[in-house]
Amino acid sequence: MTVLVVGSVALDSVETPFGKADHVLGGSGTFFSASASHLAPVQLVGVIGNDFPIDELKKAFANRPIDLSGLEQQDGASFRWRGRYRHDLNMAETLETHLGVFSNFRPKIPDQFRGAPFVFLGNIDPRLQLDVLTQVSKPKLVACDTMNFWIESRRPDLMQLLEHVDLITLNDAEARQLTEEFNLIKAARWIMAHGPKYVVIKKGEHGAFMFTKDSIFFAPAYPLESVFDPTGAGDSFAGGFIGYLARTNDLSEANLRRAVVYGSAMGSFAVEKFSVQRLLEITPQDIQRRVADFHRLVVFEQDVS
Amino acid sequence: MTVLVVGSVALDSVETPFGKADHVLGGSGTFFSASASHLAPVQLVGVIGNDFPIDELKKAFANRPIDLSGLEQQDGASFRWRGRYRHDLNMAETLETHLGVFSNFRPKIPDQFRGAPFVFLGNIDPRLQLDVLTQVSKPKLVACDTMNFWIESRRPDLMQLLEHVDLITLNDAEARQLTEEFNLIKAARWIMAHGPKYVVIKKGEHGAFMFTKDSIFFAPAYPLESVFDPTGAGDSFAGGFIGYLARTNDLSEANLRRAVVYGSAMGSFAVEKFSVQRLLEITPQDIQRRVADFHRLVVFEQDVS
């Protein structure tokens, strides 16, 4: 099954304790696509400026099932982000954000994308996320991401969006901000009462919770000896998660759990190198191996006493 | 099998967003004993002042297999701690610490305790922890805890202690401080290179890692809707962990993993009420149920593709 993703396609400049990279491929749509495309065909909708190294993107995605025909090029500058991570790699320090053409982004879903059964609305203005939903026809699953900025400035639109999505991914701070509940179980329940059937709360290096009406599932972040660059981990998680659901076309609880693990696995690859570099070089065997490692990390047999 | 624990027996005054409690039973030895005694007989060695409500302690532990004959009463004031938790329950703010007779504590292990097969050296001066080891004969497992204060002020003694313990439990900040490694895998490896075969790194509400030479195991903290008072969670974790090992007398990897889950379960009970209150009222069925809940929280089946 195909996944449609609407998100940013950007150029990142990142500094970590381990090195720096300038003007490399970034953005939620880019990371999501690089990740999900290991599991399912991806249709990417986004906007870039005329300064964007489109050949670099095409080359990067050349061997992947990623349809770039929804990527609009406009006159103006591309979205650029510059950030820094100190030793606490859980926290990005934003040094510069230039929205460029992204500030006028109005997603147009190409006709051939409108029937996509799995839809991921990356972190953009909730008004645009809502607008995308008017352009697609009966997806099997609609998932969205959001962030503090939209929770603050577009709360009514975001609340309206929640009524129309099946699943939301957000981090713990955002869940608390949105719901005004400090406790994550209460926060998740609040969100589910406003629409989504599934809530995934990401805690960065501390793992992720998936809440459904009747259950809680937790997957740790894969413990890596060297986290190189955390940029894009969340979108790569979403890509693995939704990509796995699309590949299997199965929304059972057992499969949703596996999807969270695939998400965590893809997130863990993303942080091993700058940009989408590591996501582009891994093989299906690497992914299987990491999922198996995840299993070994958490598995225990209950005793019978 | 019996567990010998050497630790503090104190009176805590705690304020949380949900209420306050004054001069209630506390201390690492107390929490450890209340927890471990659900799983194995406990021998407690500690010191209290002549102001200590010893009848209250005896009454609390009356129905538990806890031998208090190693609890020394001295002239002077008991160890008292006063602390506060804000909404971020992961972080205690210490308002007052009065060591009292605890500042001259010199543990004397009663003859009838010296053969204990499982020994837990609670968070006291590493010189005293070392001294305890000269008073016991060939335990099957020696575990210790420590804290920032000793890492700073007694590093040489602590390093010497490490050579003589099989297992250490400490939190993530302490592991980083001790090893000067930010990455927890590297920190654990550093510690194992200095003695312990097993390293348990506790991350509070974010769960706990157990490292062995060849493996990493992770157990999340049990997600509770209301964490009432986090005081003693770490010592209750240790009590569940070592208590389970003592009950089963099995140091296999599979059993160590289960022990971590029992530790997490006991830690999760401890925070549901003030002091050792909840630990004293739970039944074996409550514990089994929570361990089963832990399993449901993390279990996933790998696919075969």
In this predicted model, what pLDDT tens digit does every residue of B253-288 receive, in sequence order? 999 999 999 999 999 999 999 999 999 999 999 999
Best CA proximity match to B174, nearest among B203, B195, B207, B216: B203
Q: Contact A207/B207, CB-based, under 8 Å?
A: yes
B95, pLDDT greater than 80: yes
Mean pLDDT to the nearest integer, B20-33: 97
d(Cα A19, Cα A8) in Å, to the nearest integer?
24
Residue-level length of chain A: 305
Q: Is the pLDDT of residue A286 over 90?
A: yes
Tokens of A94: 């934003």
Which residues of chain B does A209 touch, with a Cβ-Cβ cutoff of 8 Å? 223
Structural contact between residues A267 and A205, judged by C-beta atoms closer than 8 angstroms? no
- How much is the CA Rg of chain A, to the nearest whole Å? 18
Rounded (5°) CA angle A292-B215-B150: 140
Q: Per CB distance under 8 Å, which residues of A are interface residues toward B?
A: 87, 182-186, 203, 206-207, 209, 215-220, 223-227, 248, 254, 257-258, 260-261, 291-292, 295-303
Q: Which of A248, A285, A300 to mutate to test the interface with B (most CBs of B within 10 A)?
A: A300
B91 to chain A, closest Cα gap in Å:
15
How far is the C-alpha of B303 from the C-alpha of B305, rounded, in Å? 6
Decide: B222 and B294 in contact? Cβ < 8 Å.
yes
Q: B297 and A248: CB-CB below 8 Å?
A: no
pLDDT value, residue B86 = 84
Is B303 part of a structural domain of the chain? no
* Chain B CA closest to residue A261: B300
Counting one residue from chain A and one from chain B, the pairs whose CB atoms sit within 8 A come to 87
Region A231-255: mean pLDDT is 97
Distance CA A197, CA A187 (A): 13
Interface test with A, best of B298, B299, B304 (most A CBs within 10 A): B298
Residue A178 · residue A191 · CB < 8 Å: yes
Answer whether residue A304 shows pLDDT above 70.
Answer: no
What's the confidence (pLDDT) of residue B303? Answer: 82
Over residues B209-227, the pLDDT tens digits come to 999 999 999 999 999 998 8
SS3 of B119, please? strand
Calpha distance A28→A8 (Å, rounded): 5
CB contact under 8 A, A301 and B254: yes
Residue of chain B with shortest Cα separation from A290? B302
What residue of A is the nearest CA neighbor of B256? A300
Cβ distance A226 to B183 less than 8 Å, yes or no, reads yes
Residue B287, domain member (yes or no): yes
B contacts of A183 (beta carbons < 8 Å): 225-227
Q: CA geometry: angle at B281 spanning B144 and B226, to 5°?
A: 80
Number of separate domains in chain B? 1
Q: Of B125, B132, B86, B87, which is closest to residue B103 (Cα–Cα)?
A: B125
* CA distances in angstroms from B62 to A305, B6, B278, listed in the order given: 24, 19, 15
Predicted complex ipTM: 0.92
Q: Specify which residues A84 forms β-bridges with.
A: A15, A93
Per-residue pLDDT, A73 = 97
User: What tokens were used for B249?
Assistant: 């007398």
Q: Is the pLDDT of residue A303 over 90?
A: no
Question: Taking CB atoms and an 8 Å limit, are A218 and B218 in contact across chains?
Answer: no
The per-residue pLDDT for B52 is 98
What's the pLDDT at B106? 95
CB contact under 8 A, A216 and B203: no
B17 pLDDT more than 90: no
What average pLDDT is seen over chain A? 96
Span between the terminal Cα atoms of chain B, in Å: 45
Question: Residues B282-286: contacts with CB within 8 Å, 24+ apart?
Answer: B282/B38, B284/B38
Task: Give the C-alpha separation, A211 to A189, whole Å.
Answer: 8
Q: pTM here?
A: 0.94
Give the tokens for residue A133: 């939903």
- List, for residues B119-145, the tens digit of each pLDDT value: 999 999 999 999 999 999 999 999 999
Average pLDDT value for residue range A98-116: 96
Q: Which residue in A has a C-alpha nearest to residue B206's C-alpha? A: A206
**B273 phi, psi to nearest 5 deg:** -145, 175
Nearest residue of A to residue B298 by CA position?
Answer: A218
Cross-chain residue pair A206–B206, CB shorter than 8 Å: yes
**Measured between CB atoms, which of B182, B225, B258 is closest to A186?**
B225
Q: What share of chain A is helix, strand, coil (3-state, %, to 5)?
A: 40, 25, 35
| Domain with B173 in it | 3-298
CA distances from B219 to A206, B186, B291, B298 (A): 11, 19, 11, 8
B282 in a structural domain: yes
In a domain? residue A304 = no
- What pLDDT sits at residue B92? 84
Q: Chain B interface, mutation test: which of A200, A303, A304, most B Cβ atoms within 10 Å?
A: A303
* pLDDT tens-digit series, residues A142-177: 999 999 999 999 999 999 999 999 999 999 999 999
d(CA B80, CA B98): 5
Write out the residues of chain B at the interface with chain A, using a CB-CB cutoff of 8 A: 87, 182-186, 203, 206-207, 209, 215-220, 223-227, 248, 254, 257-258, 260-261, 291-292, 295-303
Q: Which residues contact B154 (CB under 8 A, 6 or more apart)?
A: B125, B126, B127
Task: Give the chain A residue whose CA is nearest to the CA of B244.
Answer: A303
Q: Alpha-carbon Rg of chain B, whole angstroms?
A: 18
Kindly state whether residue A305 falls inside one of the protein's structural domains.
Answer: no
Nearest to A223 among B216, B257, B258 (CB): B216
| DSSP secondary structure letter of residue B205 | G
Question: Which residues of B are less than 8 Å from A217 in CB distance?
Answer: 297-298, 300
Q: What is the mean pLDDT of chain B?
A: 96
> What's the average model confidence in pLDDT over A218-236?
94
Which residue in B100, B95, B117 sits closest to B46, CA to CA? B100
Higher pLDDT, B177 or B305: B177
CB B46 within 8 A of CB B71: yes
CATH number at residue A226: 3.40.1190.20
Give the separation between CA A203 and CA B71, rounded to whole angstroms.
Answer: 43
Q: Is residue A210 one of the residues assigned to a domain?
A: yes
- Predicted pLDDT of residue B305: 56
Spell out which residues of chain B touch residue A243, defining contact as CB-CB under 8 Å.
Answer: none
* Banded model confidence at residue B304, pLDDT cuts 50, 70, 90: low
pLDDT of amino acid B208? 97
Tell me how far apart the alpha carbons of residues B252 and B258 are, in angstroms, rounded to a whole number. 10
- Which residue spans within chain B are E strands per DSSP? 3-6, 10-16, 19-26, 42-49, 66-74, 79-85, 92-98, 118-121, 141-145, 167-171, 198-202, 208-211, 216-219
Taking chain A, what is the end-to-end CA distance rounded to the nearest angstrom?
45
| pLDDT tens per residue across span B34-46 | 999 999 999 999 9
Q: Residue B88's pLDDT is what?
A: 73
**Phi and psi (nearest 5°) for B96?**
-150, 140
Task: Say how far apart CA A52 and CA A60 lie, in whole Å.
Answer: 14
Q: Do A298 and B219 touch (CB under 8 A)?
A: yes
Residue that the structure tokens 């009420």 belong to: B273
The answer, yes or no, to whether residue A6 has pLDDT greater than 80, is yes
C-alpha to C-alpha distance for B49 and B244, rounded to whole angstroms: 31
| Pick from A69, A65, A113, A111: nearest CA to A247 | A65
Nearest chain A alpha carbon to B291: A302
Q: Give mean pLDDT, residues A178-192.
A: 97
In a domain? residue B106: yes
Beta bridge partners of B211: B199, B216
- DSSP, collapsed to helix, strand or coil, labels residue B79 as strand
> In this structure, is residue B305 part of a structural domain?
no
State the Cα angle at B41 between B36 and B44, rounded to 5°. 75
Chain A residues with CB inside 8 Å of B296's CB?
215
